[in-house]
A and B are shown apart, each in its own frame.
Chain A
Amino acid sequence: MAKTKFLVSRYDAARDTKPYLQEFRLEIPQGATLLDCINLIKWTQDGTLTYRMSCRSAICGSCSMKVNGHARLACKTQAADVVIDGAVTIEPMGNLPLIRDLAVDLEPFFDSIDRVKPYLVPDESRQWKREMLQSHDDYRKIEDASTCIMCASCWSDCNVLEVDPRFLGPAALAKAQRFVHDSRDSDTIGRIEFLSRVTGMWDCTHCAECATRCPTDAKPLFRIKELRTAAMTHKITNNNGARHVLAFRESVGGTVPGIGGGMLNENYIPVRSVGFFNLDGILSIIPVGVRMIIRGKNPPILPHIIDKFGEVRAMFRRFNDYRKEYRK
C-alpha cells in the first residue's frame, strides 16, 4: 500500500518565526483514525510533535484540529476518508493563539463560556422541598445543546471570530441556549437581554461553519436561531438584529399597512432595523442609499405586492397560532 503524505503544521516559538508544514510519510493502517496516524508519526518518526489528545472516543473534545482546512476531531475521523490526491494537511485550530505545533491556547474559548453564566440560576424565593424535576418535553428543549463536548471546533472555523474576537462565539451561545430554555432557570429575561447586546446572538452571520464542524448534536447555529426565536417571543427587540426580523415580518406579512405584500420592502428594512429615531443609524445608511439612487439600483419606491397576497396575509394574521402550534 502506498504511503500517504501527511503535511503537518509545525511551530516552536523558541526557534520559528511562523508555522510551516512538515512532510511525513506513513502507510495508513486499515481502519486507523487520523489520531492513530498522528500518534504513529509521533511514536515512530518525531517525538517532538505536539498536540492534545485523551479519550480517543470523541467525548473529551481534546483532539480537534484543522484537517484539509476545516476543524475536526482527529479521533472521530477515519484517516483514509480525508486523503486528497495522496495527501492530508493537518493544522492547528483557528481563531486561537498558537502554543506549539497543533496545540493552541484555549483560554479565549473557555472565557467566552464563562461570560454567559453557564450554570443554573434557581428561583431563590421558592422553598424547594425536593429536587427540581423536568418533564421529558422540557428536557428535549435543552438536550442538543447539552451534548457539547467543548472541543472548540465551532470556534476554530467561526467566520465572525476571524474579524471580531469580542464575539461570544458559537459554543457559548449554544451553552446560553441550554439555560435560556431550561425550565428550572429563573433568569430567562436577564439572559436574553445580555445575549442581545453587541457581540451576542445577533452578531452571528449564519455562515453555518459551527453547525457543519460540530461533532455532536449541539450544532450551535441552530441553538443561536432558537435563542433569537426566544428573543422575538419574549419581545426583547430593542436592537438592530431583532428590529431587522420585525421588518421582515411587517413587509412580507403586510402587518404594517402600506409597507409590503409578500416580499421584502428593501427601502423599509434598513430604516426599520436601525430604528426610526436613531439619527446616527439613519445617517449611517444614507451613503449606500445615495450610491444606489445614483446608479438606479435603489428598489422601487412602491412595495412589490405578490399575486394572491391574500393567502400570505391570512397566514400572518394567525401569527400567534403558528407559534403555539410549533411549541406543541
Chain B
Amino acid sequence: MKYALYTGCVAKGAGRELMSATVYAAERLGIQIREMKDASCCGAGAIQEDNPLLADALNARTFSLAEEQGLDIMTICGTCQGVMRTAQIKMEHNPAHKERVNAALKRDSGREYQGKVKVKHFYQIVEEDYGLENLVKRVTRKLTGLKVAPFYGCYVLRPHEYSDTKVPDRPDYLEKLIAAVGATPVDYAEKQKCCGFPILMPNKANALQLSGNAMIGALKAGADVIVTPCPLCHLNMDSYQPEIEEMLDRKINMPVLHYPQLIALALGANLDELKMNTHVVLPNEKLLEVVNR
C-alpha cells in the first residue's frame, strides 16, 4: 500500500508531533507514504471564502500532483480531508465547474486535474483499505484499561453530502480503532460537535466554551484521554486547555491525542518518540500507567 501523504499545514507547523506519529505508525503498519512537498495549503475554508475558484484550483493542483505520481492521497487532518473532498465532489458533480477550474490551472501552472485520485484520511485508510484486523495483529502494547473519548471534528462528518464517513450521524470509526488497540471507547453527547477552532480569532470566548463543553462531557463520561483525527481540534483543546480551565473554573487535565498517536502507542512507540512532551497537556497519570506497564 502506498499513498501520497498530504501533511497539511499544522503537521509542518504547530503540530509537528502529528507528523512524527504518522511516520511511525505508517512504517510499522507497512503503509508506504511519500510526502507531497510541493502541495499547498487546502485553504481550510478561508481561501474558499476569499476566492472560491482559486481555492478549488489550489486543491485541483494538489490532486494533479498526486495523479502525476500515480498515487492516491492520504490526509492526516480532518479539516484538510473535508475541504479537499468538498472541492473534489463539487467538480465531480459539475463538469462545467471542473472545466473552468482546469482552464485556470492549466493557464497558471500547466497542470490538469483528471479526476482519478482518491483522497482519504488516515483513519479511513486504516479501516477501509488496511483493515483493523491487520492492525490488531501488529499491536504490541495493548492499551487495556485506558478510557478513550473519540472526538471526530466537523469536517469529516458534515455536511453529509461532502462526507465519506459511513452513517455520519452515528460514526464508529474511532470507537472501533480504540477497541482494536485494546482501550475502551467512551460515549458522550459532544463527540460529534464542533471544537470551536475556526472562530478562535473572531470570538475566542465561544471557541473555548465549545472545546470546554466537549472536554467536560468526555470527563464526565469517564475518559482518560481524547483522540481526534483533526489537529485543529487538538490545537484548540490542548493548547488552550489552561485558559479553558480558567474560564470554566475547573481542572480538566485531559491529554488530547492525534489519531496516529493512539495507533503508534499500541504499536510500541514510547512517548518521546511521539514527541508527546510537546503537548501543552502532558500525558496524565493514567496514560503513563498504561504506556509504562
- Listed in ascending order, the chain A residues whose CB lies under 8 Å from chain B are 68-70, 84, 159-160, 162-164, 167, 198, 202-209, 211-212, 219, 221, 225, 228-229, 232, 239-241, 243-246, 248-249, 252, 262-264, 266, 269-270, 273-274, 284, 287-288, 291-292, 295-300, 304, 306-308, 311-312, 314-316, 318-319, 321-323, 325-326
Contact = CB atoms under 8 A, between A and B. Distances in A.
A167 B209 CA distance: 14
A299 B51 contact: no
A299 B17 CA distance: 11
B210 A163 contact: yes
A229 B199 contact: no
Interface stretch (B129-137, B253-261, B273-281): B273-281
B39 interface: yes
Interface-centre pick from B10, B14, B44, B279 (highest chain A CB count, 10 A)? B14
A205 B210 contact: yes
Given A206-B194, A297-B239, A319-B54, A263 B202 contact: no
Chain B interface extent, by class: 35 or more
Q: Which 6 A-B pairs have the closest CB atoms?
A: A208-B158, A207-B194, A299-B13, A311-B109, A326-B53, A241-B202
Given A263-B12, A298-B14, A306-B37, A249 B50 contact: yes
29 contacts: A84-B170, A164-B205, A208-B154, A208-B158, A211-B158, A219-B159, A229-B51, A232-B50, A245-B47, A248-B41, A252-B43, A264-B44, A288-B239, A288-B240, A297-B239, A298-B14, A306-B40, A311-B108, A312-B58, A312-B109, A315-B54, A318-B104, A318-B108, A319-B54, A323-B51, A323-B54, A325-B100, A326-B51, A326-B52
A266 B49 CA distance: 19
B202 A239 contact: yes
Interface of B: 9-10, 12-17, 37-41, 43-54, 57-58, 61, 100, 104-105, 107-111, 154-155, 157-160, 169-170, 193-194, 196-199, 201-207, 209-210, 213, 239-240, 242-243, 277-280
B207 A205 contact: yes
A164 B203 contact: yes
Contacts of B47: 245, 248-249, 252
A212 B158 contact: yes
Contacts of B37: 306-307
Nearest to A224: B49
A134 to B, nearest CB: 22
A207 to B, nearest CB: 4
A193 to B, nearest CB: 15
Contacts of A212: 158-160
Contacts of B110: 311
Contacts of A297: 14-17, 239, 278-280
Contacts of A159: 193-194, 196, 210
B35 to A, nearest CB: 10
Nearest to A308: B38
Contacts of A202: 199, 202-203
Contacts, number: 205
A319 B54 CA distance: 7
B229 to A, nearest CB: 16
A261 to B, nearest CB: 9
Contact of A205 (B38, B48, B199): B199
A306 B194 contact: no
Given A205-B210, A207-B154, A307 B278 contact: no
Dominant secondary structure at the B interface: helix
B165 to A, nearest CB: 12
Contacts of A307: 37-38
Given A68-B169, A159-B210, A287-B243, A322 B202 contact: no
A45 to B, nearest CB: 28
Contacts of A245: 46-47, 49-50
A322 B197 CA distance: 28
Contact of B201 (A229, A244, A316, A321): A244
A228 B204 CA distance: 19
Nearest to B42: A252
Nearest to A69: B169
A228 to B, nearest CB: 4
A205 B111 contact: no
A208 B204 CA distance: 19
B58 to A, nearest CB: 7
A262 B278 CA distance: 25
Contact of A292 (B45, B111, B203, B280): B280
B277 A295 contact: yes
A163 B213 CA distance: 9
A91 B157 CA distance: 22
Contacts of B155: 206, 208
Interface-centre pick from B52, B201, B205 (highest chain A CB count, 10 A)? B201
Contact of A240 (B45, B46, B58, B201): B201
B238 to A, nearest CB: 9
Nearest to A208: B158
B235 to A, nearest CB: 9
B213 A325 contact: no
A291 B154 contact: no
A59 to B, nearest CB: 22
